[in-house]
Amino acid sequence: METAQAAEGHTGKANGIGAYLAKHLREYGLLFALIAIMAFFQIVTDGTLLRPVNITNLFLQNSYIIIMALGMLVVIVSGNIDLSVGSVMGFIGALAAVMIVELDLPVYMTIPACLIVGMGIGAAQGYFVAYWKIPSFIVTLAGMLVFRGLSLWLLEGQSVGPFPKSFQLLSTGFIPDIFGIGRPNGTALAAGLVAVALIIWLGVRDRTHNRRYGMELEPPAFFFVRNVIVAGALLFIAYKLSTFRGLPNVLISMVLLTVIYAFVTENTTLGRRIYALGGNEKAAKLSGIKTERLTFLAFINMGMLAALAGLIFAARLNTATPKAGFAVELDVIAAVFIGGASMSGGVGKIVGAVVGAFIMGVMNNGMSIMGIGIDYQQVIKGLVLLAAVFFDVYNKQKQG
Amino acid sequence: MTPLLEMRSITKTFPGVKALDAVNLSVAEGEIHALVGENGAGKSTLMKVLSGVYPAGSYDGEIHYDGHLASFGGIKDSESVGIIIIHQELALVPLLSIAENLFLGNECARNGVVNWRETFQRTEGLLRKVGLAETPSTLVDSLGVGKQQLVEIAKALSKDVRLLILDEPTAALSESDSQALLDLLLELKAHGVTSIIISHKLNEVRRIADSVTVIRDGAVISTMDARTEDITEDRIVRDMVGRDMAHRYPARQRRAGEPLMEVRNWNVWHPEHSDRQVIRNANLTVRAGEVVGIAGLMGSGRTELAMSIFGRSYGRNISGEVLMRGKPVDVSTVDRAIGAGLAYVTEDRKSLGLILDETIERNITLANLPAVSGRGVISEARETQVAEKYREAMNIRTPSVFQKVVNLSGGNQQKVVLSKWLFAGPDVLILDEPTRGIDVGAKFEIYNIINELSAEGKGVIMISSEMPEMLGMCDRIYVMNEGALVGEMPAEEASQERIMSLIVRV
Ligand SMILES: Nc1ncnc2c1ncn2[C@@H]1O[C@H](COP(=O)(O)OP(=O)(O)OP(=O)(O)O)[C@@H](O)[C@H]1O
Ligand SMILES: [Mg+2]
């Protein structure tokens, strides 16, 4: 219908906005899906979802998924997949427990050591994928079994804990109020304001750039509404957090990592090359891109982030258990696909993956509050994943 | 006589592009109708409308076929009335046999069980009809493009074709394969099959077409009937590009300077069959400002030679030396080869040259990202400037450089690949079939660019299956046969006959 209209020569405003929306339905859809899901759970949980404690919990509970989703997005964009991240995360948690609790090694040594081990694991898997061209599905499936087994062996089937206070801070610490107000927490409020200002500034800057180079412009109304929603949500969350204990440490690391990864993937030559590699490996290679090395790096990066997630997870539970990280890879991968990445590589955005992870997180959290059994939870999450990807494919077909 | 096909006032719009604007096309039963026009004129789009790739409702206008108003919801619908399209890009499954490909989706099967005997028998019959001497169980993968094209036609015949549409069927074929294909079309015509053929090779059009329709910018410019009037190539060209083109090749000034690139004792073995030597002791020199051609039949090893030099992208056990300005250089990986001043424009733009789902802009800058970035951070502004510059210089037809490459017409995609390598700023540019699927006007532009490069003192190596192009553009021509460079001659002394005789003599 869209084309028929255009053919008749109506270039009216309504048509422009309609066409724009049709083309970018996926991105707006994701944002609206998150809002709708939050609204839904807010209502059915009688307002529990957005209580300050629960918002704080949402971040604490999901931080490790979000952190791994960053790495997974890069891996998937490069045209691969990593099934081992759950096991690696559990293994690193176990390693940290053994090092700190059983061997009495200091925390400041354990953390870097664990990150390096994570990178080593990523390098080992990436080596086979990149240089021996073994499909990543197989290599990391093997890795998933190996590291699941190794964490059982490390922990001898037991839970190991508790951790010293300094290690727990990794996950349960909060940023103190630098303004000395206490409650509401001034730092949290200020951070919210700064974030809003930054986002609006970046948005406007992008818009001027797009206008200057004749790129497609988001209709002003959309730009405005979208920014109002995002800004409102940020301020709301900042306010809620400030009335509890302020900004959790993990939130800061999460935001920092997200910004860094979004920047690297979207604005650097490194990021561009990874997209090219996933888009068409042969063409990328013939353009002088070191495709093997990039694949290798993507896995090393994934290993490091899985290790970080393992540390944060162990710190939060204050113990390392043999079951830690079990089946987490599925949530991470689902988050990335819900966020709009394509299985065949070359497509996907960091912000999408993070929003996807939040959608999974809110659903996990909301359903737990409602007391829905783990059985139904799995069913619902599975259907949401399918729906999201179906929406993608359907959209693409309609346009093509 | 009412025509077999009449398309009336077809209009098709894509976001930002009016690809077809009230196009009328009338094709009589039993004729060969040629559709010609510049890259991006809308030829492929028109045929996709006809064959239901773009279903009824996604365009305006009417299609009358065989006396009825037709409305195809998909390709199956058009096939059921005998309209078969063979796309610009071949659509065979490489790792299936000829027989399996022929009957794919249309298997000779009872209750889902394939009857292999019947399949093979019918395949043999069809292969005989198209004159392809291969066994039905041969994997399509192992056939050259020419033979694959014949398999496509056999596949069309298996579906009781009445109207056969061929989108640039000879673009990737050698001279002799093209001849065979055209003969086959004439033979099908004798059996009552109507065809529409899209081609940029005007000599072929003249040879076989009964009528010719010229499309420019989505509108029909003229329709000529070869049975009642004399259709000259010049006339077609004039209608295509909207002006007279006195020459097909721009004038060239020869100015061969110092040796720029030398390849010495180059040997390459096949990547899988390690006992097969693909390139035998090749020696080749390109001087500054020189355009050097490598002539040869398809499969003679020209592409393999070029790709093995360009970062060992082909073959194994490679030995030999590459010198730039007299000094040995390392070309063992693609980025080193680029660093040494080489660029290679592949003949296979879809799978080796482009990232189809990316924008024009990002494809153009891919091989030279550092030039649009500082400290590893890409400057979008600079990137867009570069892309705009090449869009203008190469006359890439597109509403914007942020268009995805997959949405461009074949010829315009080729211009994007060329832009990418021009932007990489090489000293020696290796062009592998650079004008494949490109219209006469754009060819002229590309020749001009080649001349500009050589005027700047750069070297160009041109691999082409179009002999006139080689003779028209090159200063010196090497002849390659079965992996060896068997001869070399200055362009003045070269002729089609001399080149062929060198190939045959060996
Ligand atoms: N899916 C699409 N989306 C947007 N634009 C398109 C799409 N397909 C084709 N176009 C545009 O429509 C125009 C006509 O394209 P078409 O492929 O029909 O050209 P063509 O005459 O076959 O050219 P060539 O000789 O290069 O193959 C071009 O400008 C092209 O960019
Ligand atoms: Mg075409």
Give residue-wise pLDDT tens across range B179-215: 888 998 999 899 899 999 999 888 899 999 999 999 9
Q: Is A256 on the interface with B (CB under 8 A)?
A: no
Cross-chain Cβ contact A287/B366 below 8 Å: yes
End-to-end CA gap in chain A: 13
HSE toward the beta carbon, residue B179, CA cutoff 13 A:
2
- Segments making up each domain of chain A, as ranges: 48-173+248-399, 181-242
Domain at A48-173+248-399, CATH from 3.40.1700, 1.10.3470, 2.40.160, 1.10.287 = 1.10.3470
Q: Which residue has the tokens 């394969």?
A: B177
- Quick one: pLDDT at residue A155? 92
Cross-chain Cβ contact B381/A23 below 8 Å: no
C-alpha–C-alpha distance, residues B79 and B86, integer Å: 12
Nearest CA to ligand 1 atom 9: B407
pLDDT band per the 50, 70, 90 thresholds, residue B83: very high
Q: Is A344 on the interface with B (CB under 8 A)?
A: no
- Quick one: pLDDT at residue A2? 34
Alpha-carbon gap: B122 to the closest alpha carbon of chain A (Å) = 35
pLDDT along chain A (400 residues), means of 10: 34 57 76 88 90 89 94 97 97 96 93 97 97 96 96 92 89 81 82 91 87 79 88 90 88 93 95 96 95 97 97 93 91 93 91 93 90 88 87 70
| Ligand 1 and B45: CB distance under 6 A | yes
Query: What ligand has the least distance to the C-alpha of B215?
Result: 1
| pLDDT tens digits, B272-321 | 888 889 999 999 999 999 999 999 887 788 999 999 999 999 988 899 99
Query: What ligand has the least distance to the C-alpha of B38?
Result: 1
Query: What ligand has the least distance to the C-alpha of B439?
Result: 1
| Secondary structure, 3-state, chain A | CHHHHHHCCCCCHHHHHHHHHHHCHHHHHHHHHHHHHHHHHHHHCCCCCCCHHHHHHHHHHHHHHHHHHHHHHHHHHCCCCCCCHHHHHHHHHHHHHHHHHHCCCCHHHHHHHHHHHHHHHHHHHHHHHHHHCCCHHHHHHHHHHHHHHHHHHHHCCCCECCCCHHHHHHHHCECCCCCCCCCCCHHHHHHHHHHHHHHHHHHHHHHHHHHHCCCCCCCHHHHHHHHHHHHHHHHHHHHHHHCCCCCEHHHHHHHHHHHHHHHHHHHEHHHHHHHHHHHCHHHHHHCCCCHHHHHHHHHHHHHHHHHHHHHHHHHHHCCECCCCCCCHHHHHHHHHHHCCCCCCCCCCCHHHHHHHHHHHHHHHHHHHHHCCCHHHHHHHHHHHHHHHHHHHHHHHHHHC
| pLDDT tens digits, B248-263 | 788 877 777 899 999 9
Mean pLDDT of chain B: 89
Chain B segment 75-114 residues within 8 A of A by beta carbon are none
pLDDT value at B106 more than 90: no
User: Lowest-pLDDT range, A28-37, B17-26, B247-256, B356-365?
Assistant: B247-256
Nearest CA to ligand 1 atom 7: B407
Q: Which residues of A touch B366 (CB under 8 A)?
A: 272, 276, 284, 287, 289
Mutational test site, ligand 1, from B36, B45, B241, max ligand atoms within 8 Å of CB:
B45
Residue of A277, A280, A398 to mutate when probing chain B, most B C-beta within 10 A: A280
| Ligand 1 and B441: CB distance under 6 A | no
Q: Which residues of A touch B380 (CB under 8 A)?
A: 209, 213
Cross-chain Cβ contact A290/B380 below 8 Å: no
DSSP B210: S
Q: Which residues of A touch B335 (CB under 8 A)?
A: 288-290
pLDDT band per the 50, 70, 90 thresholds, residue B506: low
Cross-chain Cβ contact B356/A280 below 8 Å: yes
Closest chain B residue to the Cα of A342, Cα to Cα: B357
| Ligand 1 and B43: CB distance under 6 A | yes
Nearest CA to ligand 1 atom 2: B407
Nearest CA to ligand 1 atom 8: B407
- Segments making up each domain of chain B, as ranges: 3-241, 248-341+426-506, 356-424
Cross-chain Cβ contact A212/B310 below 8 Å: no
Is it true that domain B248-341+426-506 has CATH number 3.40.50.300? yes
Q: Which two tokens stand for residue A341?
A: 């990445």
Cross-chain Cβ contact A279/B355 below 8 Å: yes
Cross-chain Cβ contact A284/B310 below 8 Å: no
| pLDDT tens digits, B434-448 | 988 888 888 888 898
Q: Is B330 on the interface with A (CB under 8 A)?
A: no
| Ligand 1 and B487: CB distance under 6 A | no
Interface contacts (A, B; CB < 8 Å): 100
CATH number of B3-241: 3.40.50.300
Query: What ligand has the least distance to the C-alpha of B35?
Result: 1
Q: Is B357 on the interface with A (CB under 8 A)?
A: yes
- For ligand 1, the distance from its centroid to the CA atom of residue B12, given in whole angstroms, is 11
Alpha-carbon gap: A19 to the closest alpha carbon of chain B (Å) = 8
Q: Which residues of A touch B370 (CB under 8 A)?
A: 269
